[in-house]
Amino acid sequence: MTDTSAIPIGTTITHDWVVTHEMTVASHGVVDLPVLATPNLVFMLEDTCVFAVQPYLDAGDLTVGTEVQVKHLAAAKTGESVVTHAELVAAKGRRLSFRIEARCGGRTVAAGTHERAVVNAEEFKKRLMGS
């Protein structure tokens, strides 16, 4: 199992995303707006955290999301580039805590925190299947 204390606090990463129609409010429901939907924004922020720590994980380990606290502060339209940023701010036991942010142009689209837990992929899948 990965020793999370070996993952440097302050590890950061940014990732660029382009808002596609499939990521918009219009594609998810009855509101016809060509802007990034909050669930997709959260997905982008979570994946950015995954990218940040993946190189430090032992073979067979992965991280799963356990908590998300995010404020969706501004819209990002279809075709715009959203840059997500994650910084590891704490690691305790299997838990990893991140500060997260998304920006589009000069505006902050989202800001918050995210926690993930390191798990062994095979053991996690076995628990899911009831074995």
Query: What is d(CA 53, CA 49) in angstroms, rounded to the nearest whole number?
Result: 7
Q: Which of 12, 38, 66, 108 is catalytic?
A: 38
Q: Which of 15, 46, 84, 114 is catalytic?
A: 46
> Is 72 in the active site?
yes
Query: What is d(CA 76, CA 26) in angstroms, rounded to the nearest whole number?
Result: 13
Which tokens belong to 30?
A: 């009855």
Query: What is d(CA 91, CA 10) in angstroms, rounded to the nearest whole number?
Result: 10
Q: Which residues of 73-99 are buried (b: 16+ CB within 10 A; e: fewer)?
A: eeebebebebbbbbbbeebeebebbbb
> Is 38 in the active site?
yes
Q: Which of 11, 14, 72, 80 is catalytic?
A: 72
> Is 46 in the active site?
yes
Judge contact between 63 and 96, C-beta under 8 A.
yes
Active site members: 38, 46, 72
